[in-house]
Homo-oligomer: A and B are copies of this chain.
Amino acid sequence: MSTKIQVGIVGYGNLGKGVVSAIKQNPDMELVGIFTRRDPSAFSSENGLSFYKISDAESFRDKIDVMILCGGSATDLPEQGPEFAKLFNTVDSFDTHAKIPEYFNHVNDSAVTAGKVAVISTGWDPGLFSINRLMAESILSEGTDYTFWGKGVSQGHSDAIRRVAGVKNGVQYTVPSEEVINRIRGGETPDLTTRDKHIRECFVVAEEGADQEKIRQEIVSMPNYFSDYDTTVNFISEDELRRDHSEMPHGGFVIRSGVTGKNTRQIIEYSLKLESNPEFTASVLTAYARAAYRLSNEGVKGAKTVFDIAPGYLSPKSPEQLRKELL
């Protein structure tokens, strides 16, 4: 077997494709194959990649060091996370915040029994943002923190727009409120809900002859999704939508504003500006695959989150090199 870390991918959507790219950027890693529920022969000619049926994964137990699970949190991961942790070291991006404790327990049971490491819920939120929330509150124990998302496409809100009568297509961006961010950067610590912190921008392609004002009203008054937010609706052509809104940018901020000593203001801010959300998430998963591999080699087992993993495990450099070059 090669001395490179042998990586497998489960699922070939945007995230899985991002992981393929990320592995190419990391010379210490090698992609063994991609496991899919679809017919592998449909992909066979694609860029020299190897595709296999997901049901054949078990026969790769001795050929793959880490399996990166690129399915969704709604239905794929609750099933795949615990199953694959019985066979492989795994990394996933399970992001249903409320269900993380339960998911952790299921995956942990499998991983402990099998002697594998399973890094769950990594990416940028949960993931990098979580680390920053934890570290900032541990350092500035008296303070307030704020997480802002965007500017980025919200899939759920885009779907909601597309269900409105007369709408042919549409995209919704969640946009953090610059005004609120500047107040916090300036040292204020206002009480804010998610809706205070964000505005919603919609780009809509209407059916020919549809009543645009009626569509606009229906969107801005939609309960849960839009009615409590400042929402703008822009009508554009199908061509404009394709040209200007087909990328998946995202990003956001974690800001903690705290005090030390006699009311001394200290502000920690972490921000991401991403041209592609899935490609960036994939890069985070790939770095954590290196960590999973190394932890497993050290005899560690069980489910782990970003909170449990020392930063040094993410880097291909040795501890000596890290101390010399980056400390």
* Chain A residues within 8 Å of B, Cβ to Cβ: 18, 21-22, 25-26, 97, 100-101, 104, 121, 126, 128, 130-131, 133-135, 137-142, 185, 260-262, 264-276, 279-280, 282-284, 287, 290, 305-312, 314-316, 319-320, 322-324, 326-327
Contacts and interface: CB of A to CB of B under 8 A. Distances in A.
A288 B111 CA distance: 30
Contacts of A100: 323-324, 327
A283 to B, nearest CB: 5
A26 to B, nearest CB: 6
A312 B308 contact: yes
Task: Report which residue of A139, A276, A284, A287 has the largest number of chain B beta carbons within 10 angstroms of its beta carbon.
Answer: A139
Contacts of A260: 18, 21-22, 25, 276, 279-280, 282-283
Count of this chain's copies in the oligomeric assembly: 2
B276 A261 contact: yes
B270 A266 contact: no
Contact of A142 (B25, B309, B320, B322): B25
Considering residues A309, A314, A326, which has the most beta carbons from chain B within 10 angstroms of its beta carbon?
Answer: A326
B25 A141 contact: yes
Identify the 3 closest CB pairs spanning chains A and B, nearest first. Answer: A307-B312, A138-B314, A260-B279
